[in-house]
Amino acid sequence: MAKPKTDPLSRLPLTPAVFHVLLALADGERHGYAIMQEVAATTNGRIKMGPGTLYGTVKRLLESQLIEESDERPDPHLDDERRRYYRLTGVGEQVVRAEARRYADMASLARGKKLIGKAALVAQPGGGA
């Protein structure tokens, strides 16, 4: 198992999939399906993670100790007890905060250069195949 790095900045930048999963867990612990739904909801359906991507990401996050599996379960009558729940670790929370700050800084930079808010040009395919 990989040794966790103490400095959150040394783990940046995160891949989009990792960042979305960490953001989904920022509100509290969730199981895989709930993470997938949260990511889809927060991106207006643009990102729908497949099982391979989701659990590949979860595996790497567990190995790097940014998330951990939770033993606690909600009321077993309300949920499938076979589901595995995940939550952020302390380091994971620091890392997702640092990444969010990095995105905010970049957004501020782009706003300063008036790149945000301007209508993006859309390219039109020609009569190609």
- Where along the sequence are the contacts to another protein (CB under 8 A)? 32-33, 36, 48-56, 58-59, 80, 82-84, 119-122, 124-129
Q: How far is the CB of 15 from another protein (least distance, A)?
A: 12
Q: How far is the CB of 92 from another protein (least distance, A)?
A: 19
* Cis before 51 (ω within 30): no
**22 vs 54, beta carbon nearer another protein:** 54
**112 vs 117, beta carbon nearer another protein:** 117
Neighbour count for residue 1 (Cβ, 10 Å)? 7
Which structure tokens are listed for 72? Answer: 């606690």
Main-chain phi, psi angles of 68, to 5 degrees: -140, 160
**76 vs 125, beta carbon nearer another protein:** 125
How does DSSP classify residue 67? E
